[in-house]
Structures are given as C-alpha cells and as structure tokens.
Amino acid sequence: MRSITRKIAPVAGTLTRSRFIAAALITMLVPIAMPTGSAAQTGEVRRFELSIKDGKMDGGLRTVRVVRGDAVVLRWTVDQPTILHLHGYDIEIEVRPDAPREMAFEARSTGRFPVEMHGGNGEGRRAHRVLIHVEVHPR
Ligand SMILES: [Cu+2]
C-alpha cells in the first residue's frame, strides 16, 4: 500500500506568500526607479510636409499647430533655392530644389512663430515674406 501525502499544498502556499512579498517590494520600488514625471509629459513627434511653389505655400497651408514638448519636424520642398527662417526658435536653413531639408526642433516655447522666406523671386536677399506660422500651444 502506498500512502498519499499532500506535500504540494504547503509548498504552493509558501510560493504564493513569497510571490506576494516580491510583488509588494516591486510596487514599492517601481516609483523610485521611474524618472520623475518627465516621461509622461514627453510629447509626440509631429512631422509636416511643406512645399513652396512660385514663392508661395503649395496648398495654402498657413498655420502648423503643435503642443509644447512635441518634437517637430518641418520638411521643406522648394522649386528654387530658398532661405527659410523660423523666428523665435531662430532656425535658418537653405533649401535647394533637388534636396528637401528639415527644420527639426523641440517645441519648448509656446507662442506663434512665423517662418519667413528670405529673398527669392528676385526680391533680393533682404526681403522677408511670411509663409506659415508655427503655433506651440500649452500642454
Ligand atoms: Cu526671418
């Protein structure tokens, strides 16, 4: 005759208890390990395809809206060599017809910022013309 013993139950009970303790420890440790709040506030990557034809915005887009903390990428395509200047963030790029270029920045400051075309269309280097506005809204 074989005797049936139930050794499994107490072992399982012990595992459950140690698991509970482990879970409790993890619960206490996780908030300390997490970066303080900043991760939750990190914005999205916002890409905009923008095209200039004949000195004007192709399609007539006037305002790009993003939220503070967003990573913003403005990708420019042009039909003639063009100098573009984002005011406020003070980013200036030169774009050529065969090579679209990007303005990439983190939207740290809220406000309404113009992107100007400098020169172009025989107006001379000093001519400034607003193409679009970038609006950075509070989160
Ligand atoms: Cu300018």
Could you identify the residue written with the tokens 């990573």?
A: 71
- Cβ < 5 A residues, ion ligand 1: 85, 116, 128
- Say yes or no: 18 and 65 in one domain: no
Question: What is the chain's percent helix, strand, coil content, to nearest 5?
Answer: 20, 45, 35
Q: Give burial (CB, 10 Å; 0-12/13-18/19+) of 87.
A: middle
pLDDT at 127: 76
- Asked if residue 88 belongs to a domain, the reply is yes
Average pLDDT over residues 71-88: 96
Say if strands 101-106 and 63-67 run parallel, antiparallel, or are unpaired: unpaired
CATH number assigned to the domain comprising residue 109: 2.60.40.420
Which comes out higher in pLDDT, residue 137 or 122? 137
Beta-sheet pairing, 45-53 with 82-86? unpaired
The parent domain of residue 109 ranges over: 40-137
User: Pick the residue with more confidence: 120 or 71?
Assistant: 71
Distance, CA 67 to ligand 1 centroid (Å)? 23
- The domain tally of the chain equals 2
Q: Is residue 91 part of a domain?
A: yes
Question: How far apart are the CA of 50 and the centre of ligand 1, in A?
Answer: 17
